[in-house]
Amino acid sequence: MSNNKLECLSVSKLYEKNGNKIWALKNLNLEVKEGEFLAIVGPSGCGKSTLLKLMASLERPTEGKILLDGKELRDPGPERAMVFQYFSLFPWCTVLENVEFGLKMLNVEEDERRERALHYIKLVGLEGFEDYYPRQLSGGMKQRVALARALAVNPEVLLMDEPFGSLDAQTRNFLQAELLKIWEEEKKTIVFVTHSIIEAVYLGDRVVLMTSRPGRVKEVFEIDIERPRDKGSSEFSRVRSEILSSLKKEVLKTISSEYSLDLKEIAEMIR
């Protein structure tokens, strides 16, 4: 028995729009280990978000399968809770009601529901904001509510889709550190999609680099830097530039396919 929590076995995803067939993912293989913090980076449009939706069973793979603890996944479930880039809080619910939402769907008793929701609201540092509506909160606070909402259902895997992508740099740095703290406390498996290599290297046990569309795993980097990681250290920079140079090639491929330019031409242009 392996210690793989999630496994993607030659997963492909085909989208058809107005008669055009686009392979978002093609033969993607990936293992996520139990308790691991896995970061995924790749050029834009490489299918990172699609992969996350497939892992959450919010969409079905066209080919291949995804296993959780060795069992094939079919339907969405709160054991794989997702955090979205634009928070996706329910605007008609207060902070407390948002965090309670998943527990309500699980038919958890009201007292226990409240208790667990309050625990996670406190964990993400939003004590005192229970009765606020999402519109009254800043972006960073909204994303903490979303995190609390996902954690409250006690998921085995946390799927995070560029959760800090729309936040300002300071909030982002702060929440990255908070997330690591929570991860260490709660011992969840986390799959974290980002377009920031710095973020990926700062957070991940491993960083998966995806190819340009159709997305596959191009390279997997083990990040052996001890936590808390210093984004300014030379070791950090070395790992970062290693991933960056590999990513650059993929970005160039995306650009060349989008603008039908020759790779060499682009290389000249951006030099």
Partner 1 sequence: MNARTIFVFLVFFASWELISRSLGNPIFPPPSKVFLALFDLMLPRNLGFLSAPVESGKLVPSLLNTLERVLMGFSLGSLAGFSLGILNFRFESLEKTIDPIVKILHPIPGVSWIPISFLAFGESDLAVVFPVVIATFFPMLVNTTSGMKSVEEDLILAARNLGAKGIRFYSHVLIPATLPFVISGLRISWSYSWRTSIAAEMVLSLAKGGGLGMLHLTSMYHLDVASAMAIMLTIGVTGMVLDHLVLGYLERRTLEKWEG
Binding residue for partner 1, selected from 149, 172, 188, 216, defined by CB under 8 A: 149
Identity of the residue, 60 or 238, whose beta carbon is nearer to partner 1 in the bound complex: 60
Residue 53 and residue 48: Cα distance in Å, rounded?
Answer: 9
Query: Binding to partner 1 by residue 117, rule CB under 8 A?
Result: no
Contact 5, 34 (CB under 8 A): yes
Residue 181 and residue 165: Cα distance in Å, rounded?
Answer: 19
Query: Binding to partner 1 by residue 91, rule CB under 8 A?
Result: yes
Query: Binding to partner 1 by residue 88, rule CB under 8 A?
Result: yes
Residue 205: DSSP 8-state: S
Parallel, antiparallel or unpaired: strands 37-41 and 189-193:
parallel
Residues in the chain: 271
Query: Binding to partner 1 by residue 92, rule CB under 8 A?
Result: yes
Burial of 143 (0-12, 13-18, 19+ CB in 10 A): buried
Residue 202 and residue 240: Cα distance in Å, rounded?
Answer: 9
Residue 160 and residue 169: Cα distance in Å, rounded?
Answer: 18
CB of 196 to partner 1, least distance (A): 20
Q: Near partner 1 by CB under 8 A, which window of 39-47, 84-92, 165-173, 222-230?
A: 84-92
CB of 253 to partner 1, least distance (A): 28
Q: 221 — phi, psi (to 5°)?
A: -110, 125
Identity of the residue, 55 or 197, whose beta carbon is nearer to partner 1 in the bound complex: 55
What residues numbered 231-260 form the site for partner 1, per CB under 8 A? none
Identity of the residue, 144 or 149, whose beta carbon is nearer to partner 1 in the bound complex: 149
- Token couple for 117: 């929701």
Query: Binding to partner 1 by residue 53, rule CB under 8 A?
Result: yes
> In the stretch 187-226, what mask flags binding to partner 1 with x, by CB under 8 A?
----------------------------------------
Spatial CA neighbour of 145 closest among 162, 122, 176, 115: 122
Query: Binding to partner 1 by residue 112, rule CB under 8 A?
Result: no
Contacting positions for partner 1 (CB under 8 A): 53, 56, 58, 76-78, 80-82, 84, 86, 88, 90-93, 101-102, 104-106, 133-136, 149, 153
